Amino acid sequence: MAKNDKFVSQIADIETDFPQWYTDVVIKTKLVDYGPVKGTMVIRPYGYAIWENIQREIDTRFKQAGVENAYFPLLIPMSFMTKEAEHVEGFAPEVAVVTHAGGAKLEEPLVVRPTSETIIGHMMGKWVESWRDLPLRMNQWCNVMRWEKTTRPFLRTSEFLWQEGHSVYASAEEAEAETLAMLRLYEEVARDVLCMPVLTGRKTEKEKFAGAVATYGMEAMMHDGKSLQSGTTHYMGQNFAKAFGVQFTDKDGALKYGYTMSYGVSTRLIGALIMTHGDQRGLILPPPVAPVQVIIVPIAQKKEGVLEACSALEARLKKAGIRAAVDDSDNSPGWKFNEWEMKGVPLRIELGPRDIESGKMTVFRRDTLEKSDEYLLFEAETAIFGLLQKICGELYARAETRMHDRIVEANTLEELLRGVDGGNFVRAGWCGCRECEDKVKEFAQATARVMAKENTSERCVACGAPSVHTVFFARAY
């Protein structure tokens, strides 16, 4: 057997060693590599292409909503971080600080951007003067640094890519409405782009963003039943406006402080889709984010007319707006099948002399592993487009069924522990006190992910007092 006919790589068992499975997949599919500085990652071209597709989908929606892109400096004066007390306390353990530059000690240390509320607040204070300047709605695509002790590619790294949107409004009602609107936008992206069901809701005081009045989160269930926070939006009230002098003269001539909010998602979304859809063969990429949506594999490619037919089909699919490619390497078809399956390409077309003669093509679906040779070549564009749409719907439905089947109820801490031990999200009552939230974490190693929209529980799972909120608890990445 030739070298290239062997199984291209070994991946850990997804059921018995999910963390190692994840590491094997992200490394062996060439999504990332480890950077030379501990805790950093190098996003390789295949992984970055996925991020570009996610970025494009989100950015298009931002622009449709009227949000403009801008860019703010990476380095932030330390004095900015100390202006909002809760904010600096929350980020202090994670910040990286620059103390020297140009061979000399700096007069004031500079923080490497962990998030930009402070520097954007400073600039908003310069730009906002009148009610006519409002609302001011901006977003930036950038990198941030948070010095993490335990890291894993895409899920938690010292440096990562993200978008952070920041808005200032004249009223609390407008800022709060924007906070919820961006949460809905993220939920739409999760559903329509990542084919990923999520739970959304308000975070507890313990879990909210440092300096926010209220934080709302988007939680996705991974294959092992753990939760991954996949996006957050924050209503800041006037906390940052007062800290940075974001004031405006209102229509009545009075000088007032603005109301701010912020929102963000990151390259963590790549980790989310890997752990939501992947299987023992590797990645399963949702068609909207797949760098290659269709891989065409020539069969008996040295025979006359085969490569020409494959190239012609590729050109037709590309013209129809489908991301298609031909694998004309000298590897065997079996090697190519395995390689592209591991990389998660949604569809594979096999095209050889007999297919060309019969006017048909053999199509393989990565998500279901189904293969059919009944598709007509002259209808390729329509058939492939329809299949990609079908894959999106069925990927979402499969993940949604799994999530709902693995949400269980608990009335006691013992029931909650059994629930999370079984790889579930646990819906339970909470009295609202911090001590009970801490007790859940200590007893079951689970945290409050989001609060349900309605309180359907009678008693707190930790103390038995009347329930104020129904909360989804889970172990989380």
- Residue 390's SS3 state is helix
pLDDT average, residue stretch 156-177 = 97
Rounded CA Rg of the chain:
25
The answer to whether 383 and 363 are in contact (CB under 8 A) is yes
Please tell me the least confidently modeled range out of 150-154, 167-171, 196-200, 363-367. 150-154
Digit-coded pLDDT (tens) for 299-354: 999 999 999 999 999 999 999 999 999 999 999 999 999 999 999 999 999 999 99
SS3 content of the chain, % helix, strand, coil (to 5): 35, 30, 35
pLDDT at 227: 98
Fold for 406-474, please state it.
Translation Initiation Factor IF3 (3.30.110)
18-277, which class in CATH? alpha beta
Q: How confident is the model at residue 120 (pLDDT cuts 50, 70, 90)?
A: very high
239-274 confidence digits (pLDDT tens): 999 999 999 999 999 999 999 999 999 999 999 999
Q: Distance from first CA to last CA of the chain, Å, rounded? A: 42
Q: Enter the tokens of residue 256.
A: 């007032």
Torsion angle in degrees (nearest 10) through CA of 347, 353, 356, 362: -30
- The whole-number average pLDDT for the span 82-108 is 88
Sequence ranges of the chain with CATH classification 3.30.110.30: 406-474
The SS3 assignment for 457 reads: coil
**What does the pLDDT read at residue 60?**
98
Q: Where in the chain is the domain with CATH 3.30.930.10?
A: 18-277
User: Across all residues in the chain, what is the average pLDDT?
Assistant: 95
Domain covering 294-393: architecture: 3-Layer(aba) Sandwich (3.40)
Portions of the chain given CATH number 3.40.50.800? 294-393
Q: Is the pLDDT of residue 156 over 50?
A: yes
Q: What is the pLDDT of residue 179?
A: 98
Tell me whether the omega of the peptide bond preceding residue 135 falls within 30 degrees of 0, making it cis.
yes
pLDDT tens per residue across span 185-204? 999 999 999 999 999 999 99
91 falls in which pLDDT band (50, 70, 90)? confident
Q: pLDDT tens digit string along 376-434?
A: 999 999 999 999 999 999 999 999 999 999 999 999 999 999 999 999 999 999 999 99
Residue 150 clears pLDDT 80, i.e. is over it:
yes
Residue 133 pLDDT greater than 50, yes or no: yes
pLDDT of residue 8: 42
Residue 93 pLDDT level (bands cut at 50, 70, 90):
confident
The amino acid at residue 156 is R
Name which of 195, 199, 202, 200 is nearest 221 in CA terms: 199
- CA-to-CA distance for 141 and 327, rounded, in angstroms? 33
